[in-house]
Amino acid sequence: MVVQIIDWYGDGSVGVVDLALACCAVESGAARWLPTPSGDRSVDDAHLRPTMSLETWRAETSSGHADASCDERHPADELGRLVAVVSGTVAVGLANRVTRIIDELRATQPVHVVAFGACACAGGP
C-alpha cells in the first residue's frame, strides 16, 4: 500500500492522504501529471505537491515536532483540512490496517475520509 500526504494547493489549506489500494490509485497518480506546452507530461508543482510520506509523518509526529513548545513547525500544522482518500477495495485483510492509519492521522487533527472508485464505493465494477 502506498500512502503519501499531498498539499494540493501549496498553501497548506488541504492535505490529501491517498490510501492507494488498487487500480484507482493509478488514476489518482495520473492526475498529478499535466501536459506541458511542448506536449510532454510532467508534474506541475503549482497544482500538486507531495509534502511527506506516512513514514515521515509518523517520525515527525512522534518527535518534538508534535510538541507545542517546539520552535519548528511540523508540516502538518499548516494543513487546514486533512482528507484521506481510500482508492480501491478494502479487503478483510486490509480493513484493520486502513482503520489504524486513519486513526493515527486523526490523533493529530480531524480527518475527512472519501471513497474513490467503484471498488471503494460499491464493492467493485
Tell the residue number behind the cell numbers 503549482, with chain if given: 46
Determine the pLDDT at residue 49: 42
Domain ranges, ordered by start, for the chain: 2-36+45-122
Mean pLDDT by 10 residues, the chain (125 residues): 60 72 77 57 46 62 50 51 83 89 85 86 76
Q: Are residues 54 and 18 in contact, defined by beta-carbon separation less than 8 angstroms? A: no
Determine the pLDDT at residue 104: 87
Determine the pLDDT at residue 81: 73
Determine the pLDDT at residue 99: 92
Q: How far is CA 24 from the centre of its chain?
A: 14
Q: Are residues 38 and 85 in contact, defined by beta-carbon separation less than 8 angstroms? A: no
Determine the pLDDT at residue 96: 92
Determine the pLDDT at residue 107: 85
Q: Distance between the two ends of the chain, CA-based, in angstroms?
A: 21
